[in-house]
Chain A
């Protein structure tokens, strides 16, 4: 079952820690947003393999709810 990891908040992408094909475990940090001077890490909801990464480091003005990473 595919898990879509959506952005929790609008903001800017600071660090992307995974690429397609990476194996991840539940709780691993996938990427970190920078929002209002705060780091907002996003974690994998389940074990699996990253099948899509729709964001890149330095991207600005992203919207909440955008599907950033897909894990299969």
Chain B
């Protein structure tokens, strides 16, 4: 595996390039019209133009990506996250082209991509699942009311093909049920080409805790501890940390073992994340989904363990034996936290704010500080892709130390030319409830008077 094409852009492309180069591999970046001058292009050994700014015609264009691989003699493809990272069709095409796919098998991506199938696989592996209903294909809502009674209110109507908060609607009682289910089907049919929905119990005060897993493709898998990602806006993560504050040790162990069991049962290959919803009061936990990719927030796990997860992905894909990576060999040291710096205006309901980074100054990455970004001062955050500007990651011996470092990093961050959430992040990190570790997915909404005023 001597030349790796990274089918992505921005910070994750830069991140993958870094680990690939450290392993002595050559790297190929791809870019759209909007990314000609981007950092990931400058960081790679070679770069290939793959199409117009619109993602559908560039970063999601499988033919263009495979042509770029062929033209440069790339021998492997790393998909990053987002775009085609969890597209089994892309993985298959890469493999059929004779290239190494850095990721799980297409069958594994498929199995976990279908949420209802993922649930039944989790259940079979002895992983607790949220009470939920059977699936209702478009236009077929017979038995909906009875299914809702069994699941219990409040509940979520979820699009089978959705994800990341897209295609998910809350229903408080039977009166809104049918109308909401119909609307979700229509939306899902339009957005995903598949209107199938199902119902799932909603936990009012919930935490989002996920387990990083790594499978070796042979039935052996390890967990790499948990991350708490409860601080979210619009169902999207803003702050992540590891370990999860205040989670009883017995619960952490049970969750981690369940996640590793699921990965092992699938003979899962590579890095993956098993997401759980945790009742913040009772600490009951339920399987949500498994993501078959490297996650945005993987750096917090790397900070507390010293592992390089991207490097491990590449080494496994290259056929290297990772037999030495046993569960007992993975240390856990200290506490790490990540803040996502977004181009958005929190005061205007987090309205996206594309534009030119007239000024972009970050503190130096001193001890316990890591900054992952794909942009420099003078670059433009375009309207075409996601709003993340940088990931600010701090590590400390204790949570308090990590938080103190983060406060200093946020204080030292200056962005001009666009709106960002930096002041909002400062307020969350300084908030008394956050400092006490009282995180839950409704945190931002509950404290919006303190955070957004």
Q: Is the CB of B354 within 8 A of A40?
A: no
A58–B385 CA distance with the chains assembled, in angstroms: 16
Residues on the A chain within 8 Å of B384, using CB = 12, 36
Q: CB-nearest residue of chain B relative to A38? A: B352
Q: Which residues, 3 to 42 on A, are CB-close (under 8 Å) to B?
A: 8-12, 34-38, 40
Q: Is the CB of A36 within 8 A of B355?
A: no
Q: Is the CB of B385 within 8 A of A8?
A: no
Q: Does B386 contact A (CB under 8 A)?
A: yes
Residues on the A chain within 8 Å of B343, using CB = 36
Tell whether A8 pairs with B351 under 8 Å between CB atoms, given A36-B385, A37-B385: yes
Q: CB-nearest residue of chain A relative to B419? A: A9
A11–B344 CA distance with the chains assembled, in angstroms: 13
Q: CB-nearest residue of chain B relative to A58? A: B54
Residues on the A chain within 8 Å of B108, using CB = none
Residues on the A chain within 8 Å of B322, using CB = none
By secondary structure, the B interface counts as: loop
CB distance from A49 to the nearest CB of B (A): 28
**Contact size range, B:** 10 to 19
Q: Does A60 contact B (CB under 8 A)?
A: yes
A61–B384 CA distance with the chains assembled, in angstroms: 9
Residues on the B chain within 8 Å of A36, using CB = 343-344, 352, 354, 383-387
Residues of A in contact (CB 8 Å), total: 13
Q: Which residues, 42 to 68 on A, are CB-close (under 8 Å) to B?
A: 60-61
Residues on the B chain within 8 Å of A11, using CB = 352, 354, 383
Q: Is the CB of B348 within 8 A of A10?
A: no
Residues on the A chain within 8 Å of B352, using CB = 9, 11, 35-36, 38, 40
Partner of A9, one of B54, B354, B385, B386: B354
Tell whether A9 pairs with B351 under 8 Å between CB atoms, given A36-B343, A36-B383, A36-B386: yes
Q: CB-nearest residue of chain A relative to B344? A: A36
Residues on the A chain within 8 Å of B383, using CB = 9-12, 34-36, 60-61
Residues on the B chain within 8 Å of A34, using CB = 383
Q: Does B430 contact A (CB under 8 A)?
A: no
Partner of B353, one of A9, A12, A60, A61: A9
Residues on the B chain within 8 Å of A12, using CB = 383-384
CB distance from B349 to the nearest CB of A (A): 10
Q: Does B53 contact A (CB under 8 A)?
A: yes
A37–B383 CA distance with the chains assembled, in angstroms: 8
CB distance from A20 to the nearest CB of B (A): 26
User: 1/0 per residue B336-352: CB within 8 Å of A?
Assistant: 00000001100010011
Q: Is the CB of A35 within 8 A of B354?
A: yes
Q: Is the CB of A10 within 8 A of B385?
A: no
CB distance from A72 to the nearest CB of B (A): 27
Q: CB-nearest residue of chain B relative to A11? A: B383
Residues on the A chain within 8 Å of B353, using CB = 9-10
Q: Is the CB of B53 within 8 A of A60?
A: yes
A36–B340 CA distance with the chains assembled, in angstroms: 15
A interface with B by C-beta (< 8 Å): 8-12, 34-38, 40, 60-61
Can you show 17 pairs from A to B with CB atoms below 8 A apart?
A9-B354, A10-B383, A11-B354, A12-B384, A34-B383, A35-B354, A36-B354, A36-B383, A36-B384, A36-B386, A37-B385, A37-B386, A40-B351, A40-B352, A60-B53, A60-B54, A61-B383
18 extra A-B contacts, CB within 8 A, seeds A36-B352, A36-B384: A9-B351, A10-B354, A10-B355, A11-B352, A11-B354, A12-B383, A35-B352, A35-B354, A35-B383, A36-B354, A36-B385, A36-B387, A38-B387, A40-B351, A60-B53, A60-B54, A60-B383, A61-B383
